[in-house]
Amino acid sequence: MEDTQKTSYIQTIGRRKEAVAQVRLYANGTGKMTVNGREAKEYFTIETMLQKAMMPFEKIGMANQFDVTVQVKGGGITGQVDSVQLGIARALIKWNISLRTVLKKEGYLSRDARIRERKKYGKKSARRSPQWSKR
């Protein structure tokens, strides 16, 4: 049997580069965060990365009132952390719309649109041209 607190949640998606994070925010929690079935401290081994993911909670002062489960895939560890942060911020907005001004002011709601540039024909990569020889 699943706990009644765990049945109602808010689900959002955060993206950054190639990373996509599906975030589920459970109200009335204890501050527990799991990423891909593991504890967040195990998944994000660098302490600053874990702090960056939890910044939206710390900014509104409700770090221990929610449980978060995240399914993240693609990209590198930095892109995954940024996508989790965006997903958490979006979930908090769905939970309480009045938090929007605080989170937007801090920049947690803006998606970083920089992505990998595609390779063009006649080039070796996106911009790298074949070596040119004068003779």
pTM: 0.85
In a domain? residue 112: no
In a domain? residue 111: no
Range of the domain at 25: 4-106
Query: Residue 29 — pLDDT band, cuts 50, 70, 90?
Result: confident
Total domains, the chain: 1
In a domain? residue 99: yes
User: What is the C-alpha separation between 60 and 57, in angstroms, rounded?
Assistant: 5
Q: What are the tens digits of pLDDT across the range 53-98?
A: 999 999 988 878 899 999 999 999 999 999 999 999 999 999 999 9
- What pLDDT score was predicted for residue 1? 40
In a domain? residue 126: no
- What pLDDT score was predicted for residue 44? 92
Checking if the pLDDT of 52 tops 50, the result is yes
Span 19-34, mean pLDDT? Answer: 92
Distances (CA, A) of 125 to 6, 45, 97, 115, 122: 47, 33, 44, 15, 9
Q: Are strands 66-73 and 19-27 parallel, antiparallel or unpaired?
A: antiparallel
In a domain? residue 121: no
Distances (CA, A) of 116 to 19, 119, 123, 125: 12, 9, 15, 11
In a domain? residue 128: no
CATH code where residue 98 lies:
3.30.230.10
In a domain? residue 84: yes
Alpha-carbon 42 to chain mean position: 16
In a domain? residue 120: no
